[in-house]
Structure 1
Amino acid sequence: MARPEEEEREAALVRKVAAGEREAFDRLVLPLVPRLLGIARRMLGSTSQAEDAVQNALAAVWRTRQRLEPDRPVLPYLTTVTLNKCRDQLRRRKAARLFGLGQDAADERDEAPDPEMRVGDTMALSQVQSEIDRLPTRLKEALVLIAIEGMSHRQAAALTGTTPKTIEMRLYRARKRLRHAIDFFEG
């Protein structure tokens, strides 16, 4: 939980952003970009697409900066907008595959793995990531927010507009599908 002085600093920045101060926007969002990129990278399986999603999210937040509320934390709002941009990209990707346009999702993956992907068994990690990519968007969101980002069920529910019970069920289903796919791969 943020300390009161951090909350007041953020609230002051939000007020400046709402007034149109670009420098305040940069100071507000730049420290949060790595976390947003991590979420987008895990949702999309591609660093370049994650960068596009975060850039689009930040542009959208800047355009609608009057919606920012000084008394509410910015990270959950930015995370929600970023997730929405990821969903948009996933829908476009699915539509492109449906109509035979563009590359297969597996071809869209980055060639060079992130440093965290180099740890451990590369083949197994690649299979897990591939299976995560195949999860339906709602299940993937729950998995990324809870298991990877370490959010609580309540936080994830607030970001996705659902209930903690719904998040719990989605997480259960995502893990079950992954377990089944990995058991099939190993067996």
Structure 2
Amino acid sequence: MEGRNDTPDEELVEKIIAGDKAAFGRLVEPHLPRLLGLARRMLSSADEAEDALQNALASVWMARAKLDPRKPVAAYLTTVTLNKCRDRLRRQKVVRLLSLRALGPDVAVAADEPGPDVEIADRQLLAQVTNAIDRLPLRLREALVLVAIEGRSHGEVAKLLGVTEKSVETRVYRARQRLRNKIDFL
């Protein structure tokens, strides 16, 4: 996996623990697109996702002394990012509960070739699906996003969430069932 000119992750982690910011950048850079995608899917907002990822990376940097050079960093970064997304979701729930502001999903629709009627139908379906996913209980949403959207295996998700593979399988199944019940044609 590592080329001759690449610095192994173990060496980078040791440099990071010593306070090397450039090493931190080299370590996390390959993971950024995946982590940002995960955060976007969890939070349904590009801005919120960027903020959550930035907070996650800041947390990792601040707690760099706890990093273990022998352990892979991808799972750790994913866990920290998920935790920051959970924090934001909790805050959003409180804000909605207190009715301080209305939060709606950012729905991006590409409009290259489809006609207006197809575009409207697609936009409505996407909004329905996004809204239905946003309303899933957090445990179901996490499992669904990690397995169905991120493409991770049940075993990998089980390790990330600290549950059994069967539990992940059940959560994904229940999430899909709830989505089917809420959206007629899925």
Question: What TM bracket, shorter-length normalisation?
Answer: 0.7 to 0.9
Task: Tell me the distance in 2 between the aligned counterparts of 1:5 and 1:140.
Answer: 37
Task: Tell me the distance in 2 between the aligned counterparts of 1:164 and 1:115.
Answer: 36
2:52 is matched with 53
1:126 is matched with 127
Structure 2 counterpart SS, 1:144: helix
2:106 is matched with 110
Deviation per residue, 1:134-167 (Å, 9 max, x gap)? 1111110000100011111111111111111111
- Aligned counterparts, 1:1-187, within 5 A: 3=1, 9-103=8-102, 105-106=103-104, 109-110=105-106, 113=108, 115=110, 121-183=122-184, 186=185
Structure 1: unaligned runs, 5 residues or longer: none
Structure 2: unaligned runs, 5 residues or longer: none
Q: Which amino acid aligns with 2:125?
A: A
Task: Tell me the distance in 1 between the aligned counterparts of 2:43 and 2:179.
Answer: 17
How far 1:4 sits from its partner (Å)? 6.1
Task: Tell me the distance in 2 between the aligned counterparts of 1:156 and 1:136.
Answer: 17
Task: Tell me the distance in 1 between the aligned counterparts of 2:183 and 2:65.
Answer: 46
How far 1:31 sits from its partner (Å)? 1.7
Q: Which amino acid aligns with 1:76?
A: A
Task: Tell me the distance in 2 between the aligned counterparts of 1:59 and 1:41.
Answer: 18
> RMSD of the alignment, in Å?
2.4
Quote the sequence identity (%): 54
Q: Which amino acid aligns with 1:159?
A: L
How far 1:114 sits from its partner (Å)? 6.0
How far 1:180 sits from its partner (Å)? 0.7
Structure 1 counterpart SS, 2:74: helix
Task: Tell me the distance in 1 between the aligned counterparts of 2:75 and 2:135.
Answer: 25
Q: With structure 2 as the length reference, what TM-score do the two structures score?
A: 0.88
* Preserved CA contact (<8 Å) 2:132 2:179: yes
Deviation per residue, 1:20-58 (Å, 9 max, x gap)? 100000111122111111000000000000001000000
Equivalent residue pairs, number: 178
The structure whose Rg is larger is 2
Change (3 A) 1:155 1:13: same
Moved over 6 A (4+): none
How far 1:110 sits from its partner (Å)? 2.5
